[in-house]
Structure 1
Amino acid sequence: MSTSVPLIVKLLASSVSVANRAGKIVRDVMSKGELGIVEKGKDDYQTEADRSAQRCIIASLAAQYPNINIIGEEDNPDTEGDVPSDWIVIDTDKDVLSLECPSSLQGVKEEDIVVWVDPLDGTSEYTQGFLEHVTVLIGISVNEKPVAGVIHQPYYKTLIDGEKKMGRTIWGLQGVGVGGFTPAPPPDSLIITTTRSHSNALAEKGLQAMNASQVLRVGGAGYKVLQLLEGVASVYLFATSGCKKWDTCAPEAVLSAAGGKLTDILGNYYKYGASEQRLNKTGVLAAVNNELHSYALSKIPEELKELQSKK
């Protein structure tokens, strides 16, 4: 790895390669059929795939970038300990490595960075067989702001030279754009994507206020943001607390790099410093462009905003 490549670009290139390996681990656990499910809380599950993928990601990044603060979802002792040597990834994605780093990020040091890791976003869907919803998320924040991110889909199927390939990796870098696919324009009508497994009365009230032509209920913050970028949905709304920083750091970074916007339902950006609370208390509102985001923000009832702002 060339020392002349700025740290942020190197870290993103490493994260792409690591996410690919973590995605294979996720598939391997499923193919063996022993998911090792643990219930962490109500409707909150952890599997062997969560644990193993996190061990792979954290061990690989920590080995190369020892002074970076890495925060993973699975803060369980079972995610620590010896890591198999073939899980330690030192490769870097050559396409990402060749990117020109924005001037604002060229001087970033390891101590300025917090990496937020969700090794398997959409665990509930994973256990129920909705595998297309599953993503591996690695978000890179500098001075509390998401600046780069990786969304890997382990079960995305593509044909390359007549052969089926599993997995797709999409990345975003502030000031550069996105790679791995080409974003599509939003649909002509207002289509909302939201949770399929963590809804409640407040969340439903926010959805009703949108008067959308269609509501898509899917799993995982990563998958919802991909629906925005692929032109499947117009807005991603979850009008109450529930998701965490590791759910939204990478998706926000990728969406922002594509010209989109992700905030809470009050229109405020979340901060991603290491000392910030993990829970996104005031919900999530995202859209593929500022115009759609402003429109959706204006439709959320003031009483709902006031209720969330008191949390």
Structure 2
Amino acid sequence: MAPMGIRLSPLGVAVFALLAVGVLYHFYSGFLAGRIAIFRKLPGTDRVDLRELLALSVEAAMRGGEEVKRVMEGGELNGKSKGKTKEGMDEMLTTGDLLSHQMMYNLIKNTFPTIQVFSEERNIGATPEITSWDHAIPKEILDKASATEEVSSDSITVWIDPLDATQEYTEKLLHYVTTMVCVAVNGKPVIGVIHKPFADFTAWGMVHGGSNVSMRKSYNEKKPKIIISRSHTGTAKTFAQKAFGNDSDIKEAGGAGYKVLSLLNIPDDKQPDHADVYLHVTNIKKWDICAGNALLEALGGQMTTLEGKAIDYTDTELNEGGIVASIGVSHKTLLERLPNLKTIKTQ
């Protein structure tokens, strides 16, 4: 006798189909959720609030500054040359540089481990210090940086200069000394912090997010006061005179951070010098200029190469195009007045 077949009514077929779809849905959704969870745990995919990162940057610059001051007060700088620059100048290194680096670098990396951080110094012969931050955002930042956004950590590069103007630090020209932190997103500088440890003053700014400093009420565009590096006065002075006249008011100063602050509205007791344009005609490392670049951008100013190109802060350490920085004057007009640097060098 032939076996009897199982016959389902149309209603039974529909129920069976629904059950099958449900099983497949739960299986697939569970699988997909697992894949999403795995994806979210991949390095570099964290979301970071820029206002929180601004607060951390201020904290890092100030803590680094405390180390710089402590070493100076102790009198054991242990200054030495760590090599020559491309221009043949000694690059100085002190205990202040190293201890400030350890504090700033480790604080940022311990707080946001997936963020890439570039520093002028390295953890050479030192045990990384365990540092932490409570994620508290100061009221000043909450009040003045009202706008913020979240970005993926893999789009962020942080540039820190643990001690800008090391040469001047060894000479006890302490008003030039700064500690700096810059945050770039997709290569564009968006957060800049310049801290003056010996003046107890910190300037910060976030592009489209506010600042605690401002531009001055007036600038001299026709006969600007030019600030240049005291370490590269020859070519820079000739370059500035060619652009703005032999009678140009040219000020020599130490530290890229100091020179950017000279363009802003900062009290004389915190910033002795004031200028209209900052020029640099030789190679310069990006941790020297990124914070100032971001700070100027936050206030409506600009920093570009001498050819007017935006500076990319994605990875490579060296900016080879020189810089011109301004605020309150037409950057385009300044660029049009700049001579050909190659012509200057061959004279």
TM-score (ref. length: structure 1): 0.84
Distance 1:206 1:93 in 2: 44
CA RMSD between the two structures: 2.2
In structure 2, what is the equivalent of residue 49 of structure 1? 96
Distance 1:233 1:307 in 2: 23
> Is the contact between residue 164 and residue 180 of structure 2 (CA under 8 Å) also seen in structure 1?
yes
Distance 2:93 2:74 in 1: 16
In structure 1, what is the equivalent of residue 231 of structure 2? 197
Q: Deviations over 1:236-269 (max 9, x none)?
A: 001222x111011110000111111000100001
Distance 2:219 2:150 in 1: 39
> Is the contact between residue 17 and residue 93 of structure 1 (CA under 8 Å) also seen in structure 2?
no
- Letter of the structure 2 residue corresponding to residue 301 of structure 1: P
Distance 1:82 1:267 in 2: 40
1:88-99 matched pairs, under 5 angstroms: 88-90=132-134, 92-94=136-138, 95-97=140-142, 99=145
In structure 2, what is the equivalent of residue 100 of structure 1? 146
In structure 2, what is the equivalent of residue 257 of structure 1? 298
Distance 2:206 2:259 in 1: 19
Distance 2:215 2:161 in 1: 23
Alignment partner of 1:301 is 2:346: no
Q: Tell me, what secondary structure is at the counterpart of 2:180?
A: strand
How far apart are residue 280 of structure 1 and its match? 1.2
Ranges in structure 1 where 5+ consecutive residues have no aligned partner:
157-166
> Is the contact between residue 186 and residue 288 of structure 1 (CA under 8 Å) also seen in structure 2?
no
Identify which of 152, 164, 169 aligns with 1:121: 164
In structure 2, what is the equivalent of residue 270 of structure 1? 311
Distance 2:343 2:48 in 1: 43
> Is the contact between residue 14 and residue 90 of structure 1 (CA under 8 Å) also seen in structure 2?
no
Identify which of 74, 77, 80 aligns with 1:38: 80
Q: Tell me, what secondary structure is at the counterpart of 1:77?
A: coil
Distance 2:123 2:111 in 1: 23
Q: Tell me, what secondary structure is at the counterpart of 2:147?
A: coil
How far apart are residue 76 of structure 1 and its match? 5.3
In structure 2, what is the equivalent of residue 184 of structure 1? 216
Q: Deviations over 1:142-198 (max 9, x none)?
A: 000001110000111xxxxxxxxxx1111110112321x343234444100010113
Distance 2:178 2:304 in 1: 20
1:236-247 matched pairs, under 5 angstroms: 236-241=278-283, 243-247=284-288
Alignment partner of 1:74 is 2:121: yes
In structure 1, what is the equivalent of residue 256 of structure 2? 221
Alignment partner of 1:169 is 2:202: yes
> Is the contact between residue 233 and residue 252 of structure 2 (CA under 8 Å) also seen in structure 1?
no
Distance 1:64 1:169 in 2: 21
Structure 1 residues 262, 57: CA separation in 2 closer, same or farther (over 3 Å shift)? Answer: same
Identify which of 49, 54, 58 aligns with 1:16: 58
> Is the contact between residue 120 and residue 161 of structure 2 (CA under 8 Å) also seen in structure 1?
yes
Q: Tell me, what secondary structure is at the counterpart of 2:107?
A: helix
How far apart are residue 81 of structure 1 and its match? 2.0
Larger Rg: 2
Q: Tell me, what secondary structure is at the counterpart of 1:229?
A: coil
Percent identical residues: 36
Distance 1:218 1:73 in 2: 20
Alignment length, in residue pairs? 281
In structure 1, what is the equivalent of residue 27 of structure 2? none
TM-score (ref. length: structure 2): 0.76
Distance 2:251 2:137 in 1: 33
How far apart are residue 287 of structure 1 and its match? 0.5
> Is the contact between residue 18 and residue 89 of structure 1 (CA under 8 Å) also seen in structure 2?
no
- Letter of the structure 1 residue corresponding to residue 337 of structure 2: K
> Is the contact between residue 187 and residue 234 of structure 1 (CA under 8 Å) also seen in structure 2?
yes
How far apart are residue 38 of structure 1 and its match? 2.2
Q: Deviations over 1:282-304 (max 9, x none)?
A: 1010001351x2232122113x2
How far apart are residue 8 of structure 1 and its match? 0.9
In structure 2, what is the equivalent of residue 152 of structure 1? 195
- Letter of the structure 2 residue corresponding to residue 295 of structure 1: T
Distance 1:118 1:251 in 2: 11
Alignment partner of 1:142 is 2:185: yes
How far apart are residue 92 of structure 1 and its match? 3.8
Alignment partner of 1:60 is 2:60: no
